[in-house]
Each structure stands twice: as C-alpha cells, then as structure tokens.
Amino acid sequence: MVSITNLLKEPRHSQFIKKLIPWTIYALLPIALFRLYFHPVHLPDSPIHRTPQIIASSSSSSSSSSSSSSSSLSPPHFSPSSVHEEEEEVNAINETPCDYTDGQWVPDKLGPLYNGSTCGTIKDAQNCLAHGRSDLGYLYWRWKPHKCSLPRFDPSKFFHLMTNKHIAFIGDSMARNQLESLLCILASVSTPELVYTSGEDNKFRRWNFPSHNLTVSVYWSPFLVDGIEKSNAGPNHNELFLHRVNEKWAVDLDGFNLVVFSIGHWYLHPAVYYEGDDSIMGCHYCPGLNHTEIGFYDALRKGLRTTFEAVIDRRGSSSSNELGIFLATFSPSHFEGEWDKAGACPKTKPYKESEKKLEGMDAEIRAIEVEEVEEAKGRAKQSGGLRIAALDVTKVSLLRPDGHPGPYMHPFPYGNGGVGERVQNDCVHWCLPGPVDTWNEILLQIMNSWEQQSGL
C-alpha cells in the first residue's frame, strides 16, 4: 500500500494536497471495517412490528396541533413542554423561512420519539439500547435553531401530508439509518406492512402503512450513479460511471412523491471513475493502476450533477405527480482514536456550538452538495411540479459525537472479555433512537412549508 508520504511526493498544487490528507485517512480504513459500516442490514422478513396499533387521526393537520398531539403520543411518564408551545407561536408570526442549520443542541426532558426496543425495524448494529449501552444521556437532547423552533415530530402531520403517497430513501447506509428512524417514529402510531424485499442483505425494501396508504421504500445505491462496489470477489476499489444514474432507483422515479437522497461515505473510498463512453477519467487512491489521481470531490460533484439532471430530464415530459427531492448533506463521523480500540468515539454529550467548527472534509463535501442542489433548483424551475432542497444536517450531526453506536454495534461488547479488549467501533452511523431522528423532524418541517406554499 502506498503511504501518505509517497502520495504527497507528486503534488499538483498545494490546494490539492490539503484536500488529499483527510480522505487518504479514510482510504486506509481496513476493508473489513468498511464492509461492516457501509453494508445494509440483515433483518427478519416478518413480522416487523410488535407495537400496539393506534391509528393516528389524519385530520389534525394545522401546525398548532403538533405540540399537543405529539405529547399525547409520548410515553405517559413524559409531560408536554410549555417551551415548545411558546416557540411555535413565535414561528407562526415570523414568516421568513427557518434556517434549521443554525442552532445548537439543548437538554430535552421529553426524550425519544419511540421505544427502540419495540420498534422491530432497527438494524441490530444501531440498536444501542438493546446492545447494552447504559449511558442514556444522549437520548435527552433536542435541536434548537437560533431564530425559530423545530417542533417535535408529529406523526399525524406526516401521515396527513403523505396519504396515498410514496417516499423513497435512496443511497447508502445513512439513507437506511434515516429510513429506519422514520419507520420507528411512524410505527409508534400506525403499523406498517413489509410489502417487498429484494437483494442481498435486503438492499431494497418497501413498506405500506395501510392506515394512510403511505408507501416507504429504501433503495441501496451508494453512488446514486451507476457503479460496481468493491468486494472480496470483484475489484478491490469501487468503479463509478459518473455519467449515468443507477437504474435500480431511476426506473421507479415516476412512482415517487418524495425522495431523500443520502450519499457521501462511499465516495471516500478507493475508486476508478469513468465518464463519456466509459473512458477513464481518473481515480482516487488507486496505487498500481496507472490512472491519474483526481481525488473524490470532483467525482462526487459529477455524480450529483448527473443524478439531478436525470431527475429533471425524466420528469420534464412524462409525470403528473408532484415530486419533492431532498439531498441529505454529509453526516460527519467522530473517530477520536483507533477504530478498534475501546472508546473510539467516547463522548457522552453533544458539542457546544463554540467547541466544534464545521471544517475540512466535512465542510467541503457539504459545500459541494449544497452547491449542486442550488444548481439543480435553477434548472428544475422549468420542470413543473418538481421541488429540490438540501436537507442540511451536517452541522446538526457534527455536534453529536455522543450519538454513535461505538462499541455497541456489537451486543454487550464488554460483557465477556471485559474493558480493554479490541473491538470494532462504529462512529459513523447513529443509534436509534438518536440524533438522526432530528433529520426527520427537519424534513417534516420543510415538507410542511412546501405544503403551505402550494401543495407538496
């Protein structure tokens, strides 16, 4: 393997070097760990839910209802917070759109939106409570934007907006993480049925909530564009075809009303990039292959550009459905030490805003994503019934080093061998319940604002 210093010997310019360093570290993460982190779940096909069925009323749709109805859905020992109600009044008066990215985590006595031990759709490796995580402080925080409020997720509001509609999460394991959060939140009031599953490790799954005929899907597509994933059997680097989208999801585009794209981490790993007539554009960390090293930032940008272009082009002529597209921005990881040493992400509290700045690779990836969304928004204007937005969760997530499974990706990691044993840590994904639930709260608020403007 070529060392970092060897790579740095042939700089093209200093800017390039600055970009090279962070992702080289990612490139060196062992492949075994990589596969654990970024591959989808094994889940039982059925039954997926054991929660008691309480059908939510779909009529309580006014924004003022969210505080009262969400509190009635909470476990009985939680009491509604009057703070939420005051903030909502402020929001109603303030007509400027809320900047949900500008905020901080504040203590919240209400706690999680659902009971992780009774929601059947959490991947084991993210079911931290079930795996024996005993510090529970990470469950009692909520995101507080500085200039507005973020209401607690109101499942009945979501069902109301999405009755007879289809939401698809498309991307890598962060897409799955967010999907599983949404399913658990919704399942706290209405039971979904798993109606479709396919692919190794259930890469493609679909549920229907009969109470509202809401369909929820997840599509495994870690590049969004076409690609070949690295594997033990195939190439030991990814191969990306940056000029064409992955048809696994694209063929179903007409059936979606809402899409959440969520990618990023798979772009950090060794890859060869193709463009045009499948000619090689360059590579990222491919020693021995004699291709030009081009890093992954341009590839990510091109992949996103191709994706949005495909969505806009295909919508242009055919569909009558309204379609909303979100791109969830990059979710930073929080490794502080070696990935296989106890306590690789040991923090038990969020960062304060002043403690952690968004910078380096996390900031760069987010910037590319936000720019590509803005670019696509401009082009989408000609295409009727299509909306595009960033679900900007990078800062929200950056400030939550305490929300990862860490060693609790394994059941009771300290149960037998005791502390000090080398154990893999997941400081990339999020415990469920956990910070990723807030992503869905922000998603719902943007959906809500769209509906108030002109219908979803």
Ligand X SMILES: *[C@@H]1O[C@H](CO)[C@@H](O)[C@H](O)[C@H]1NC(C)=O
Q: Which stretch binds ligand X (CB under 6 A): 87-95, 113-121, 192-200, 434-442?
A: 113-121
Among 39, 165, 212, 429, which residue sits at the site for ligand X (rule: CB under 6 A)?
165
Q: Which stretch binds ligand X (CB under 6 A): 159-167, 179-187, 195-203, 400-408?
A: 159-167
Among 75, 316, 337, 417, which residue sits at the site for ligand X (rule: CB under 6 A)?
75
Cα 422 to Cα 207: distance, rounded to the nearest angstrom: 38
> CB of 83: closest distance to ligand X in angstroms?
21
Residue 105 in 3-state DSSP? strand
> CB of 203: closest distance to ligand X in angstroms?
21
- Which member of 402, 404, 429, 437 is catalytic? 429
- Which member of 173, 181, 221, 333 is catalytic? 173
Among 59, 82, 134, 164, which residue sits at the site for ligand X (rule: CB under 6 A)?
164
Residue 205 in 3-state DSSP? strand
Q: Does 206 bind ligand X (CB under 6 A)?
A: no
Q: Does 213 bind ligand X (CB under 6 A)?
A: yes
> CB of 215: closest distance to ligand X in angstroms?
5
Nearest one of 179, 164, 157, 448 to 324, comparing CA atoms? 448
- DSSP structural state of residue 388: E
Look up residue 375 and give its amino acid.
E
Nearest one of 266, 400, 267, 422 to 333, comparing CA atoms? 400
End-to-end CA distance of the chain: 50
Nearest one of 444, 350, 360, 450 to 159, comparing CA atoms? 444
Considering beta carbons, is residue 117 or 236 the nearer one to ligand X?
Answer: 117
Residue 22 in 3-state DSSP? helix
DSSP string over 223-263: TSEEEE---SSS-SSEEEEEEEE-HHHHTTGGG-SEEEEE-
> CB of 164: closest distance to ligand X in angstroms?
4
Interaction residues for ligand X, span 283-312 (CB under 6 A): 290
Considering beta carbons, is residue 71 or 104 the nearer one to ligand X?
Answer: 71
Q: Which stretch binds ligand X (CB under 6 A): 40-48, 110-118, 418-426, 435-443?
A: 110-118
> Is 76 in contact with 147 (CB distance < 8 Å)?
no
Among 66, 70, 101, 215, which residue sits at the site for ligand X (rule: CB under 6 A)?
215
Q: Kindly report the length of the chain.
A: 456
User: How open is the CA angle 374-61-326, to the nearest 5 degrees?
Assistant: 20
Considering beta carbons, is residue 257 or 397 the nearer one to ligand X?
Answer: 257
* Active-site residue, 217 included: no
235-238 long-range contacts, Cβ below 8 Å, gap at least 24? 235/272, 236/31, 236/270, 237/269, 237/270, 237/271, 237/272, 237/283, 237/285, 237/286, 237/289, 238/266, 238/269, 238/270, 238/271, 238/272
* Active-site residue, 291 included: no
Q: Which stretch binds ligand X (CB under 6 A): 15-23, 112-120, 268-276, 310-318?
A: 112-120
Q: Does 118 bind ligand X (CB under 6 A)?
A: yes
Q: Which stretch binds ligand X (CB under 6 A): 19-27, 160-168, 278-286, 438-446?
A: 160-168
* String marking each residue 407-446 x if it binds ligand X according to CB under 6 A: ----------------------------------------
> CB of 336: closest distance to ligand X in angstroms?
29
Considering beta carbons, is residue 166 or 284 the nearer one to ligand X?
Answer: 166
Residue 369 in 3-state DSSP? helix
Considering beta carbons, is residue 113 or 312 the nearer one to ligand X?
Answer: 113
How do beta strands 271-275 and 238-245 pair? parallel
Considering beta carbons, is residue 38 or 158 the nearer one to ligand X?
Answer: 158
- Which member of 172, 362, 402, 426 is catalytic? 426
Nearest one of 179, 217, 174 to 198, comparing CA atoms? 217
User: How open is the CA angle 80-85-87, to the nearest 5 degrees?
Assistant: 130
> Is 349 in contact with 137 (CB distance < 8 Å)?
yes
> CB of 117: closest distance to ligand X in angstroms?
5
* Active-site residue, 392 included: no
Active centre residues (catalytic): 173, 426, 429
Give contact residues for ligand X (rule: CB under 6 A): 75, 115, 117-118, 164-166, 213, 215, 290
